[in-house]
Amino acid sequence: MFCDDEPIRDDRRLSDYNADERSRQFVAAAREWSAAYASDNVLMPMGSDFNYVSAGSWYKNLDKLIRHVNSGDYNGKGQKPVHLLVGILNFFIISMENILSPPLA
């Protein structure tokens, strides 16, 4: 999802409703990225310095995407479910450390 992407329109009454299609596109991209990871956690960086003119609308779009993907069924048969969340890089690193080297009980 980039700053010049069209907004996610999640009101089914709109003629240009696109939340389902945008969610399917994102899940497909996440599955493609996951091929390079040794775990189920996939880091998909969002944002880049100096590329986002309107942070408010970008975050609104991101919130819609997260809400829509997490509440819908965009998984094919036999595929693990996709769950999106926003976090900082440190959160991802800690989750990977716990997966690769679980803490001793």
The residue ranges of every structural domain in the chain are 19-100
pLDDT tens per residue, range 14-59: 999 999 999 999 999 998 998 888 778 888 887 666 666 677 888 8
Average pLDDT across the chain, whole number:
82
Task: Read off the DSSP letter of residue 87.
Answer: -
pLDDT tens per residue, range 59-74: 888 899 999 999 877 7
The token pair at 24 is 């399917």
| Cβ atoms of residues 58 and 5 within 8 Å | no
Higher-pLDDT residue of 77, 30: 30
Alpha carbon distance 21, 35 (integer Å): 22
> Exposed (0-12), middle (13-18) or buried (19+): which is 43, by Cβ within 10 Å?
middle
